[in-house]
Structure 1
Amino acid sequence: MPQQPTTGSNKQAQQGSTQTSGGTKITPEAASRIQSAADRHPDSTTATSGFKERAQAAATKNNSGKK
Protein backbone atom coordinates (compact mmCIF):
# COMPACT_ATOMS: atom_id res chain seq x y z
CA MET A 1 0.00 0.00 0.00
CA PRO A 2 1.47 3.42 -0.92
CA GLN A 3 2.31 5.73 1.93
CA GLN A 4 0.24 8.91 2.27
CA PRO A 5 2.22 12.14 1.90
CA THR A 6 2.77 14.09 5.10
CA THR A 7 1.11 17.49 4.97
CA GLY A 8 0.35 20.58 6.99
CA SER A 9 0.37 20.50 10.77
CA ASN A 10 1.10 16.77 10.82
CA LYS A 11 4.38 17.41 9.05
CA GLN A 12 5.23 20.22 11.49
CA ALA A 13 4.42 17.97 14.46
CA GLN A 14 6.70 15.27 13.11
CA GLN A 15 9.51 17.78 12.73
CA GLY A 16 9.08 19.04 16.29
CA SER A 17 7.96 22.51 15.27
CA THR A 18 7.45 25.01 18.07
CA GLN A 19 5.21 27.30 16.03
CA THR A 20 1.83 28.24 17.42
CA SER A 21 -1.25 27.99 15.26
CA GLY A 22 -1.83 31.75 15.08
CA GLY A 23 -5.20 31.12 13.48
CA THR A 24 -8.54 32.63 14.39
CA LYS A 25 -8.63 34.09 17.88
CA ILE A 26 -11.19 32.70 20.27
CA THR A 27 -14.27 34.85 20.86
CA PRO A 28 -16.41 35.08 23.99
CA GLU A 29 -19.12 33.21 22.08
CA ALA A 30 -16.74 30.36 21.22
CA ALA A 31 -15.52 30.20 24.82
CA SER A 32 -19.14 29.98 25.96
CA ARG A 33 -19.76 27.05 23.59
CA ILE A 34 -16.66 25.28 24.90
CA GLN A 35 -17.71 25.85 28.50
CA SER A 36 -21.24 24.59 27.80
CA ALA A 37 -19.91 21.45 26.13
CA ALA A 38 -17.59 20.78 29.05
CA ASP A 39 -20.45 21.28 31.51
CA ARG A 40 -22.67 18.86 29.54
CA HIS A 41 -19.92 16.22 29.52
CA PRO A 42 -18.02 16.56 32.83
CA ASP A 43 -15.86 13.48 32.20
CA SER A 44 -14.63 14.71 28.80
CA THR A 45 -11.08 15.81 28.13
CA THR A 46 -12.35 19.35 27.57
CA ALA A 47 -13.86 19.39 31.06
CA THR A 48 -11.00 17.71 32.89
CA SER A 49 -7.98 19.30 31.16
CA GLY A 50 -8.65 22.91 32.11
CA PHE A 51 -9.29 23.82 28.48
CA LYS A 52 -12.55 25.63 29.22
CA GLU A 53 -10.75 27.92 31.67
CA ARG A 54 -7.96 28.63 29.17
CA ALA A 55 -10.52 29.32 26.45
CA GLN A 56 -12.35 31.79 28.69
CA ALA A 57 -9.10 33.54 29.61
CA ALA A 58 -8.08 33.77 25.95
CA ALA A 59 -11.47 35.16 24.96
CA THR A 60 -11.26 37.77 27.69
CA LYS A 61 -7.76 38.75 26.58
CA ASN A 62 -8.75 38.87 22.90
CA ASN A 63 -11.85 40.94 23.66
CA SER A 64 -10.21 43.46 26.00
CA GLY A 65 -10.18 47.00 24.72
CA LYS A 66 -13.06 46.38 22.29
CA LYS A 67 -16.27 48.34 22.60
Structure 2
Amino acid sequence: MKQLFNIIRVGKQFTLTNYGEVYDFEVVRILPNGKIEVKDLHTLENYLLDDLLKFGKGKDYSLIEK
Protein backbone atom coordinates (compact mmCIF):
# COMPACT_ATOMS: atom_id res chain seq x y z
CA MET A 1 0.00 0.00 0.00
CA LYS A 2 2.96 2.35 0.49
CA GLN A 3 3.48 2.61 -3.28
CA LEU A 4 -0.07 3.86 -3.62
CA PHE A 5 0.67 6.83 -1.38
CA ASN A 6 3.89 8.02 -2.96
CA ILE A 7 2.21 11.37 -3.80
CA ILE A 8 1.37 12.17 -0.18
CA ARG A 9 3.43 14.91 1.46
CA VAL A 10 3.14 16.56 4.87
CA GLY A 11 1.01 19.72 4.74
CA LYS A 12 -0.90 18.76 1.58
CA GLN A 13 -4.68 18.43 1.58
CA PHE A 14 -6.59 15.59 -0.06
CA THR A 15 -10.10 14.31 -0.67
CA LEU A 16 -10.54 10.57 -0.32
CA THR A 17 -13.65 8.80 -1.59
CA ASN A 18 -14.14 5.17 -0.63
CA TYR A 19 -17.30 3.05 -0.27
CA GLY A 20 -19.51 6.12 -0.67
CA GLU A 21 -17.79 8.05 2.11
CA VAL A 22 -15.90 11.29 1.40
CA TYR A 23 -13.08 12.48 3.65
CA ASP A 24 -11.24 15.80 3.42
CA PHE A 25 -7.96 15.77 5.31
CA GLU A 26 -4.52 17.31 5.65
CA VAL A 27 -1.41 15.19 6.13
CA VAL A 28 0.05 15.95 9.57
CA ARG A 29 3.05 13.63 9.57
CA ILE A 30 4.45 10.42 8.21
CA LEU A 31 5.46 8.12 11.02
CA PRO A 32 8.71 6.08 10.96
CA ASN A 33 6.72 2.87 10.45
CA GLY A 34 5.27 4.28 7.20
CA LYS A 35 1.84 5.05 8.62
CA ILE A 36 0.34 8.42 7.75
CA GLU A 37 -1.30 10.64 10.36
CA VAL A 38 -3.97 12.96 8.98
CA LYS A 39 -6.27 15.67 10.36
CA ASP A 40 -9.88 15.78 9.23
CA LEU A 41 -10.60 19.26 7.84
CA HIS A 42 -14.17 19.27 9.15
CA THR A 43 -13.89 17.75 12.64
CA LEU A 44 -10.19 18.57 13.21
CA GLU A 45 -9.78 15.02 14.56
CA ASN A 46 -6.44 13.28 13.98
CA TYR A 47 -6.32 9.66 12.84
CA LEU A 48 -4.29 7.29 10.69
CA LEU A 49 -5.00 7.03 6.98
CA ASP A 50 -4.95 3.24 7.39
CA ASP A 51 -8.12 3.56 9.50
CA LEU A 52 -9.99 4.83 6.43
CA LEU A 53 -8.78 1.95 4.29
CA LYS A 54 -9.00 -0.93 6.76
CA PHE A 55 -11.88 -2.47 4.78
CA GLY A 56 -10.06 -2.18 1.45
CA LYS A 57 -10.72 -0.04 -1.60
CA GLY A 58 -14.21 0.18 -3.06
CA LYS A 59 -15.15 0.62 -6.71
CA ASP A 60 -15.54 4.37 -6.13
CA TYR A 61 -12.05 4.78 -4.58
CA SER A 62 -10.25 8.01 -5.45
CA LEU A 63 -7.58 10.13 -3.79
CA ILE A 64 -7.37 13.68 -5.12
CA GLU A 65 -5.05 16.46 -4.00
CA LYS A 66 -6.85 19.74 -3.30
Specify the TM-score bucket, using the shorter chain as the normaliser: under 0.3
Greater helix fraction, Structure 1 or Structure 2: 1
TM-score by length of 1: 0.22
TM-score norm. by structure 2 comes to 0.22
Higher share of residues assigned strand: 2
- Larger-gyration structure (1/2): 1
